[in-house]
Amino acid sequence: MNNLLVEHNLELTEIFQLIRRHAVTVLLVWIVVFTGTFLVVQQLPKKFKSTAILNIPSSYFSNPLVRELVPEPSEPGELNAQRISLLKFAMNEEFLDSLGENFKIYQYPRDTRRRIEERDQLREKIEYFTLSPTTVQLSSVQDNANQAFHLMQAVMSRMIAVLVEERYRSLEKARNAIQEQTKFLAKALTRAKKVSNAKHLEDELRKVNTDLAAIRQKYTDKHPEVAELINQAVAMKAQIVKEKGNEAPLPQSNDTDAIAAAISNDGSSSSLENLYNDLLRKLSYLSIALSMERGSESMSFLSILQQPSLPTKPFFPNIKVASVFAALLASFISVGIILASETKRRTLISPQTAAIALDTQFIGELPLMKNTEKTLLIGYDEIRALPPAQKTNNDE
């Protein structure tokens, strides 16, 4: 039975024979593929990319002066999400529309379906992604190098403006909240002090009334001591009314009266004063930080690592990538042609393959010796010379 499926390893000489037989075909395939790839690359529309790198450190999201008041993310993933969210916020529809109109990219009027498609295409041509935990790369792709460069400049300016604005807005929000709380605590402390003074005056008034009741048992109201106590009681009542006088209305969410009453009852005004003083100090810190950041020419919470670059050559189509693709394609086609040709050829490359195809044992080779009529028999066990072949009448 034929054993055609027996594994046979190609030797180096056999591989060289294959290459030599098909060298012209393989060379033509490579020339055709590379020439075709070059022509296709030349016909493709060229795209230019301008890039910039922006550094947004974690200090952007915090302020060491009021770290416990201003909420700040700490996880790297959360920080990256915050960065990308801010950049997406900068690339809103209003900015994209102004960008497309200023650079004459849009061709259709506002509020149309085609304008929405143009806006989406422009958004896809503006890329931003993180290079490291703190750096973000920005890029814009256009058909013209100068347009890509100026578009990247506009995008960079927009993102920096939004980042700075959001930074100041976050600090101002914290400052305004502290201001509201300090105002509330100031009113609470003032009212608590008045409540405490009124309570003290009421205690003193009770003592005066007690003394007045006792002295009236001896003297009439016209007596100087009685008259003095009566005048003192009237003055205290007036002072109590004044201390409990009308107050400016406060928001319903801040029950100043309840806080004032609680302070006057348990004597915790000192702790509230400490809180008030602490908030005043932090409010001062925030005001100083805002003044320093706004007045400084450099931004400590934001930096530009690479300004927008003017592209000198198109990034698409890429000659290197096209060459690699052409080499892979040419190799694949060449291997296919060689396999197809060898399959149709149906020849035996070596005696070993012949033995496998005929399902017989390979004994050896019979090379013809030079300068002799004898033939060597090269076998596995011995080497011997065969006698010369006998001539027959037919040979004559």
Mark whether 342 and 237 lie in a shared domain: no
Q: How far apart are CA 217 and CA 196, in angstroms?
A: 32
Which amino acid is it at 262? A
β-strand partners of 127: 139
CA dist 264 and 188 (Å) reads: 11
Which of 11-15, 81-85, 224-228, 286-290 has the weakest average pLDDT?
A: 11-15
Is there a single domain that holds both residue 225 and residue 333?
Answer: no
Element (H, E) at 48: strand 48-55
| 2 domain-assigned | no
Q: What's the rounded Cα separation, in Å, for the pair 157 and 14?
A: 66
For residues 215 and 229, the answer to whether their CB atoms sit within 8 Å is: yes
Which of 265, 295, 325 lies at the terminal end of a domain, its last residue? 295
pLDDT digits (tens, 9 = 90+) for 111-162: 888 999 999 999 999 998 888 888 999 999 988 899 999 999 999 999 999 9
Among candidate residues 152, 154, 136, 126, the one with its CA nearest the CA of residue 57? 136
286 and 169 housed in the same domain:
no
Let me know if residue 391 belongs to a domain: no
Q: Are 326 and 318 in contact (CB under 8 A)?
A: no
Q: What is the pLDDT of residues 76-93, one digit of tens each?
A: 788 888 888 899 999 998
pLDDT tens for each residue of 304-363: 899 998 988 888 888 888 899 999 999 999 888 888 887 776 566 567 667 776 777 777
The domain that holds 57 is classified in CATH as 3.30.70.1130
Residue 197 pLDDT class (50, 70, 90 cuts)? low
In a domain, 85, yes or no: yes
For 358-392, the DSSP string reads: HT-----B-PBPTTSS-EEEE-SS-EEEEPPPPP-
For 89-225, list the strands marked E by DSSP: 126-130, 135-142
Beta strands 48-55; 375-378: pairing state: unpaired
Specify the range with the lowest mean pLDDT, choosing from 20-24, 84-88, 326-330, 366-370. Answer: 366-370
- Asked whether residue 40 is assigned to any structural domain, the reply reads yes
| Distance, CA of 18 to chain centre | 53
Same domain, 19 and 83: no
Q: Are residues 236 and 291 in the same domain?
A: yes
Q: How far apart are CA 174 and CA 180, in angstroms?
A: 10
What are the residues whose beta carbons fall under 8 Å from the beta carbon of 374, sequence distance 6 or more?
Answer: 385, 386, 387, 388
Q: Which residue has the tokens 């149709």?
A: 344
Please check whether residue 328 lies inside any domain of the structure. Answer: yes
Containing structural domain, residue 148: 48-173+297-306
The residue type of 356 is I
Q: With respect to residue 7, please indicate whether it lies within any of the assigned structural domains.
A: no
Calculate mean pLDDT across residues 28-55. 90
122 and 75 co-located in one domain: yes
Residues 32 and 90 in one domain: no
Same domain, 359 and 224: no
Q: Does residue 333 sit in helix, strand or coil? A: helix
How far is the CA of 217 from the CAs of 87, 211, 214, in angstroms?
86, 10, 6
Per residue in 251-278, pLDDT (tens digit) is 444 454 555 554 444 445 567 777 778 7
- For residues 214 and 278, state if they share a domain: yes
What is the DSSP secondary structure assignment for residue 92, as one 8-state letter?
A: -
For the chain, the domain total comes to 3
Same domain flag for 119 and 235: no
